[in-house]
Amino acid sequence: MTDPSPSRRLHGSAAAPGVAVGRAYVVERRRVSVTRRHLEPPEVEPEVLRLRGAIGAARAQLQNIQKKLAPEASEHSLILDAHLLMLDDVLLVEQTERAIREEFINAEWALRRTVERIKELFDQADDDYFRERRSDVDFVGERVLRHLAGSPTEIARPRDLHGPIVLVAHELSPADTAALGRSEVIAFVTDVGSATSHTAIMARALSLPAVVGAGDATRTIANGDLLVVDGLRGVVTVQPTDFEAATATDRGERYIAFARQLRSNRDRPARTGDGVPIHLRANIELPAEAAVAIDHGAEGIGLYRTEFLYIDRREPPTEDEQYETFSRIVRTMAPKPVTLRTFDLGGDKFTTALRLPREMNPALGLRAVRLALREREVFRAQLRAMLRAASHGAVRIMIPMVTTVGELREARSELEIARQELHFRGVEVPEVPLGIMVETPAAVFVAEHLAAECAFFSVGTNDLMQYALAIDRGNEHVAHLARSLDPAILRALSAVIGAGRRAKIPVALCGAMAAELMALPVLLGLGFHELSVEPTAVPEIKEALGRLSYRDCEALVDRLWGLTTAAEVEDAVHQSVGALFSDLLAAGGATPVTETGTFLLPDL
Ligand code: PEP
Ligand code: MG
């Protein structure tokens, strides 16, 4: 039954959940070859007109793709908008026209040169935001060049490739992806990119399994190769054996059936098996995800990462623009609460419309509240927008990366100034609870003092683990050391819960740990009553909560204090609840499992 040639595995980032099996279509987006030609003076103006014609045609083509986008992919309209804007970009268009007029060179040559120069500018900036822009300008430039060359077609599948296809590309523009048509593409694989790259966002919005950052996928995969794309684990199997393909198909089907079945619990309240209610909320990054959160049964938004409003643009969003966005989310969720986190920019987050210095160690640099307290005008504009949005529902404001009580006080005084500014404008706003993210060891140590001066805590374990265990959260070489059940982390969480209890303020947890099935009994046992997870993880966590007894979780945690290593804690938890969750673990849902993963998955 087995295939004679051994299968190969490529590892990347799990960018969108699900498992798909299909034939590879390797997109060889070869660059348009450009003929270089000097012009005679009478040829110059017709050449400028030819360039403008090609730009117009590229614009029409993009608008057409935009029209065809499915409603659930509407977020990507914004990315296409960015490409459309680039077609009007002064740097791109005027410099190309100037080169034609002043240097007497043909449109293709002038355009390619301008694109290369813009890319060099972006290269010098050397950060993620500009790298994304660098590829955007390339995509747009190549699109216009294809029109100039008279071959404007989008990626087209080879004639001999039938059935559903897996798109394999070095990097994809969202426009390319959309143009392929949703029915034919069943999964994506890209050489580069991270789970936050545009292609990954697009895959998630279209509910297509995707693995990104898979290294040299385009070099080692041939057109027509059979692929298994495991978007749950970030693995691509090339030329799988019959057994591997059949197992993967089965696993993919089970994942879909399971996800569907779990969603049927959306209208049930989240509570443990012995009846303890848990506030189960959603983390969102895009405004459209509020509706997804509702659809998956979230009881409010526990974390809105507002920094995503600051990417893909040159200027920070205005107060009014932010007010519109925040109030839309708040109205969608009302009467459920929405926690708006002030921008957490810097560190490993996208750099932005704000000018950030180049830092040797950005994770320990000008990030989040530190940046906000340097850019006070921008911070206050955001706070005003948040306060205004609070008129439409239950809003909480949360400050990220607080390390000292002084920072909390300064943030509060900025909030008061923002309120005064609105008052002078004749705008009265309601009182809004001000809370903080607890995500630095310093905040854990002084949690007692912080709790005395704020309305709530939300623990950010992604950063707390990074800073407490000294593990860069973006570094794949040490990722396996980041174990959420490390005794050091349990002690930190316990200290925060204790401080919150004594000050009688709620303590939530919104890091990825809240969606780890095997961490769930520990979090309950420690005393967390409020969790916030990705919208699509809500049904699974709700189901898991219902299978746990709060009392048993408390007893479990009592037994953990004597254990000295993460492995011992993991074993103890696994013994206690592993069997209870075996079907959920097998589905591979929202539990991040790496190859070096802590917990063994049951055989599929
Ligand atoms: C965290 O650090 O756990 C968190 C939720 O914030 P972010 O992932 O946005 O840094
Ligand atoms: Mg954080």
pLDDT in tens, 474-491: 666 777 788 999 999 999
Is pLDDT of 388 > 80? yes
CA angle 46, 51, 56 (to 5 degrees): 120
Q: What is the pLDDT of residue 341?
A: 98
Regarding whether 285 and 411 lie in a shared domain, the answer is: yes
Is pLDDT of 258 > 70? yes
Regarding whether 193 and 123 lie in a shared domain, the answer is: no
The CA 300 to ligand 2 mean position distance, Å, reads: 19
Q: What is the pLDDT of residue 513?
A: 92
Our answer on whether the CB atom of 511 is closer than 6 Å to any ligand 1 atom is: yes
Residues with active-site annotation: 198, 510
Residue 251: inside a domain: no
Q: Give the helix/strand (H/E) hosting 117.
A: helix 107-125
Strand, coil or helix: 376:
helix
Q: For the residues 216-235, what does the mean pLDDT come to?
A: 88
Q: Whole-angstrom Cα distance, residue 113 to residue 103?
A: 12
Our answer on whether the CB atom of 346 is closer than 6 Å to any ligand 1 atom is: no
The CA 49 to ligand 2 mean position distance, Å, reads: 50
Regarding whether 131 and 159 lie in a shared domain, the answer is: no
Least confident of 185-199, 282-296, 337-351, 547-561: 185-199
The CA 400 to ligand 2 mean position distance, Å, reads: 7
User: Please, which pLDDT band fits residue 130 given cuts at 50, 70 and 90?
Assistant: low
Q: What is the pLDDT of residue 475?
A: 67
Which of 96-105, 149-158, 260-269, 519-528 reaches the highest mean pLDDT?
Answer: 519-528
Is pLDDT of 349 > 70? no
Instruction: Return the ligand number nearest the Cα of 461.
Output: 1
The CA 460 to ligand 1 mean position distance, Å, reads: 5
Residue 589: inside a domain: no
User: Please, which pLDDT band fits residue 2 given cuts at 50, 70 and 90?
Assistant: very low
Is pLDDT of 594 > 50? no
Q: What is the pLDDT of residue 264?
A: 86
Task: Work out how many domains the chain is built from and give that number.
Answer: 3
Residue 72: inside a domain: yes
Q: What is the pLDDT of residue 184?
A: 77
Which of 90-104, 125-139, 197-211 reaches the highest mean pLDDT?
Answer: 90-104
Is pLDDT of 347 > 80? no
Note the pTM of the prediction, 2 decimals.
0.69
**For ligand 1, atom 6: residue with the closest CA:** 460
- Provide φ and ψ at 196, rounded to 5°: -105, 5
Of 125, 149, 173, the position where a domain reaches its end is 149
For residue 300, which of 270, 258, 343, 342 has the smallest C-alpha distance?
A: 270
User: Please, which pLDDT band fits residue 598 given cuts at 50, 70 and 90?
Assistant: very low
Q: What is the pLDDT of residue 218?
A: 87
Residue 372: inside a domain: yes
- Provide φ and ψ at 397, rounded to 5°: -110, 135
Strand, coil or helix: 320:
helix
User: Please, which pLDDT band fits residue 563 given cuts at 50, 70 and 90?
Assistant: very high
Q: What is the pLDDT of residue 510?
A: 95
> Which residue has better confidence, 377 or 72?
377
Mean residue pLDDT across the chain: 85
The CA 463 to ligand 2 mean position distance, Å, reads: 5
Regarding whether 325 and 441 lie in a shared domain, the answer is: yes
Q: For the residues 396-416, what does the mean pLDDT come to?
A: 98
Q: What is the pLDDT of residue 175?
A: 56
- Counting ligand 1 atoms within 8 A of each CB, the residue from 464, 510, 513, 523 with the most, and so the one to mutate, is 510
User: Please, which pLDDT band fits residue 262 given cuts at 50, 70 and 90?
Assistant: confident
Regarding whether 209 and 93 lie in a shared domain, the answer is: no
Residue 538: inside a domain: yes
Regarding whether 367 and 221 lie in a shared domain, the answer is: no
Is pLDDT of 445 > 80? yes
- Counting ligand 1 atoms within 8 A of each CB, the residue from 283, 286, 305 with the most, and so the one to mutate, is 305
Our answer on whether the CB atom of 285 is closer than 6 Å to any ligand 1 atom is: no
Which burial class, exposed, middle or buried, applies to 184 when counting CB atoms under 10 A from its CB (0-12, 13-18, 19+)? middle
Atom of ligand 1 nearest to the CA of 459: 3
Residue 553: inside a domain: no
Is pLDDT of 68 > 80? no
Domain that holds residue 293: 270-548
Residue 595: inside a domain: no
Q: What is the pLDDT of residue 156?
A: 53
User: Please, which pLDDT band fits residue 350 given cuts at 50, 70 and 90?
Assistant: low
Our answer on whether the CB atom of 305 is closer than 6 Å to any ligand 1 atom is: yes
How far, CA to CA in Å, does 561 sit from each of 384, 507, 557, 565, 574? 45, 21, 7, 10, 16
Our answer on whether the CB atom of 302 is closer than 6 Å to any ligand 1 atom is: no
Least confident of 6-20, 232-246, 513-527: 6-20
Is pLDDT of 327 > 80? yes
Q: What is the CATH number of the domain that holds 210?
A: 3.50.30.10
> Which residue has better confidence, 445 or 247?
445
CA angle 158, 173, 225 (to 5 degrees): 35
| DSSP classification of residue 277 | B
Regarding whether 507 and 403 lie in a shared domain, the answer is: yes
Q: Whole-angstrom Cα distance, residue 372 to residue 483?
A: 31
Our answer on whether the CB atom of 177 is closer than 6 Å to any ligand 1 atom is: no
User: Please, which pLDDT band fits residue 453 given cuts at 50, 70 and 90?
Assistant: very high
- Counting ligand 1 atoms within 8 A of each CB, the residue from 307, 344, 402, 532 with the most, and so the one to mutate, is 344
Atom of ligand 1 nearest to the CA of 303: 5
Gyration radius (Cα) of the chain, Å:
26
The CB-side HSE value for 570 (13 A sphere, CA atoms) comes to 13
Q: What is the CATH number of the domain that holds 55?
A: 1.10.274.10
**Considering Cα of 561, then 567, then 568, then 573, what sign does the dihedral take?**
positive
Q: What is the pLDDT of residue 1?
A: 39
Q: Whole-angstrom Cα distance, residue 230 to residue 228?
A: 6
Residue 601: inside a domain: no
Regarding whether 70 and 20 lie in a shared domain, the answer is: no
> Which residue has better confidence, 278 or 182?
278
User: Please, which pLDDT band fits residue 590 given cuts at 50, 70 and 90?
Assistant: very low
Regarding whether 314 and 220 lie in a shared domain, the answer is: no
Atom of ligand 1 nearest to the CA of 466: 2
Regarding whether 484 and 388 lie in a shared domain, the answer is: yes
Regarding whether 515 and 492 lie in a shared domain, the answer is: yes
Of 108, 133, 149, the position where a domain reaches its end is 149
Q: What is the pLDDT of residue 149?
A: 78
Q: For the residues 68-80, what does the mean pLDDT come to?
A: 62
Regarding whether 193 and 55 lie in a shared domain, the answer is: no
Q: What is the pLDDT of residue 126?
A: 59
Of 117, 149, 181, the position where a domain reaches its end is 149
User: Please, which pLDDT band fits residue 176 given cuts at 50, 70 and 90?
Assistant: low
Which of 90-104, 379-393, 572-586 reaches the highest mean pLDDT?
Answer: 379-393
How far, CA to CA in Å, does 413 sit from each of 241, 261, 380? 63, 48, 10
**For ligand 1, atom 9: residue with the closest CA:** 305
